[in-house]
Amino acid sequence: MDGQSAGVSRRRSLSALLRRVHLGGPVSRAGLAEWLGVNRSTVLALTTDLVAAGLVREGFPELTGRAGRPSLVVRPATDRAYVLAFDIAVDRLVAARVGLGGEIQDRREAHRARAGVDLDTVVRVLADFGRDLHRTATPGAVCVGLGASYCGMIRPGDGMVRFGPDLGWVDQAFGAELGRRLDLGLPVLVGNEAHLGALAEHQRGVGVGVRNLVYLHGDVGVGGGIIVGGELLGGDGGYGSEVGHMLVNPYDGRPCGCGSRGCLEAEVGERALLDAAGRPADLIGRDAVREVVEAADRGEPAARDALRTVGDWLGIGVANVINLFNPGMVIFGGVLREVYRGAATHVQERIAANVLPVSRTRAQLRVCALGDDATLVGAAELGFARLLADPLGVRVG
C-alpha cells in the first residue's frame, strides 16, 4: 500500500471507529476490533490517535465480576466536542447544543406563528439561541458543526430554501444567513426535515439496523425520507422522497399546498383530519390532532369516521411506497405518530388489500422512537458529519 492509500485507509478506520462510539456509545477495545475486523494493536493505534485528538476517552469498564484483565472501554468525549442543531418546524423554532455521542446538553425553544414569518425573524431568533448555547458550553469545548432541519425543499450545497410552502418562502438563503449571523466560522448544513428524521431514526431510533426504510413525517403537510441500502435517497437534485405529493385522489381530492389536488398530504395532513372530524377551521397543531385521536378512542362517531377516512388514504400512500421500495420498515413521525396510533387498523387493511404479498410480509409498521426530537437529532447528525468523516481533520481543543 502506498502512503496516500494508507492515509485514506487510516482516515476511514478512524471515521468508522468514531462513528461507532458516537452512535453506539461506550464499547470495549475488543468489541471495536471485532466490529472493525482488525486486530487489537490496530485498534490501540486508532484509539490512541482519537484520545490525543480529544474525541474519545478510555477507561476501565464497570466491574463485571468476571476474572481476568478487562478490555478498556472507549467512550465519546461528550464534553469536548459539540454541534449546534436547529429545527424550523411548523409550530416551533428549536436550537440545541448536542455533545459528541448525541446527548442533547441544552436547548432553547420558541413558538412560531404558522404564516407571515420572514427569513430575518427566523434567523434572528435562532442565531440568538445559538450564540447563547455556544457561550454557555463547557469551557474548552469546541463547536465542530452546525446543522439545521427545515420543513421545505432545500438545495443541499448551500442550505437555500427553494420552496417552503408552509412559510411561503421561495429561494431564501437560510443556511448562509444563519451562518453569517452565528459568526462561528462554520457553514450551516441544512436538510429537509423528513430526510433528517429518516436519518435520525435509522441511526438512533426505531430503524437502527434496518437498511431499507421509509420515514413519513406529518404536520401541516407530509414529508418523506427514504433510506435505500443504508443511504438516503436524495434524487438528482436532493429533492427526492416527496411522498407527500404522491397523487392518490386526482378527481375529487382536496387542494394541496403545492398547487395540485389530491396529493397524499392533502388527504392525510393535519387539516384533512380536523376537517373530517368537523373541528373548527381555527383549530390547528398536534394537540388538536391528539384530541381527535382521543375522542375516537372514547367512541366519538365523527372522530372515528375521520380516522377511518384519513387512515384509508394513508394506507393507500403507504401501500404504494411499499410496492415501490420493498422497505423493511415504514416509520410514522411528527403528527402521523398520533394519526397512525388512531388509524392503524385502517392503514393495515389497505396494505393487506393492495400490497404485493412478497413485499407485505417484510414491511414492519412503526411509530418513530425519537418523538418530536427526530428532526432535531437529524440536524445534529448533519452537523457532526464533517467530524465523523475525517476525525483528525477537525481541530478539537
- Please select the residue that binds Zn ion; options are 48, 138, 260, 364, rule is CB under 5 A: 260
For residues 276 and 305, is the Cβ–Cβ distance under 8 A?
Answer: yes
Nearer to Zn ion by Cβ, of 153 and 363: the residue is 153
Q: Is the dihedral of CA 366, 362, 296, 249 positive or negative?
A: positive
Q: Is 271 in the site for Zn ion (CB under 5 A)?
A: no
Helices (H) and strands (E) in the chain — how many of each? 13, 16
Of the ranges 53-61, 133-141, 189-197, 258-266, which one interacts with Zn ion (CB under 5 A)? 258-266
Minimum distance, C-beta of residue 153 to Zn ion, in the bound complex (Å): 12
Is 245 a binding residue for Zn ion by CB under 5 A? The answer is yes
Q: Where does this chain touch Zn ion (CB under 5 A) — which range of 34-42, 117-125, 241-249, 319-327? A: 241-249
Q: Residue 172 corresponds to which cell in the numbers above?
A: 431564501
* Count of CB atoms situated within 10 Å of the CB of 346: 19
Residues near 279 by Cβ (< 8 Å), separated by ≥ 6?
288, 291, 292
Min dist. Cβ of residue 174 to Zn ion (A) = 22
CB of 226 or CB of 388, closer to Zn ion: 226
Residue 176 within binding range of Zn ion, rule CB under 5 A: no
CB of 12 to Zn ion, least distance (A): 41
Shortest Å, Cβ 42 to Zn ion: 51
Q: Can you tell me which of 258, 344, 385, 392 binds Zn ion, judged by CB under 5 A? A: 258
Please, where are the H alpha helices in the chain? 3-24, 29-36, 40-52, 119-135, 174-182, 193-204, 264-268, 270-276, 286-297, 301-325, 336-354, 357-360, 374-389
Phi, psi of 36 (to 5 degrees): -85, -15
Question: Which residues ranging from 65 to 124 are in contact with Zn ion (CB under 5 A)?
Answer: none
Under rule CB under 5 A, residue 206 binds Zn ion:
no
CA–CA dist 303, 295 (Å, integer): 6
Torsion over CA: 352, 356, 360, 365 (sign):
negative
Contact 352, 360 (CB under 8 A): yes
> Does the footprint of Zn ion cover residue 256 (CB under 5 A)?
yes
Q: Is 392 helix (H, G, I), strand (E, B) or coil?
A: helix
Task: Single out the residue of 89, 263, 273, 394 in contact with Zn ion (rule: CB under 5 A).
Answer: 263
| Interface stretch with Zn ion, choices 2-10, 42-50, 146-154, 237-245 (CB under 5 A) | 237-245
**Least CB distance from residue 367 to Zn ion, whole Å?**
24
Distance in Å, CB of 324 to Zn ion, minimum: 18
Number of chain positions touching Zn ion (CB under 5 A): 5
Q: Which is nearer to Zn ion, 157 or 255 (CB)?
A: 255
| Footprint on this chain of Zn ion (rule: CB under 5 A) | 245, 256, 258, 260, 263
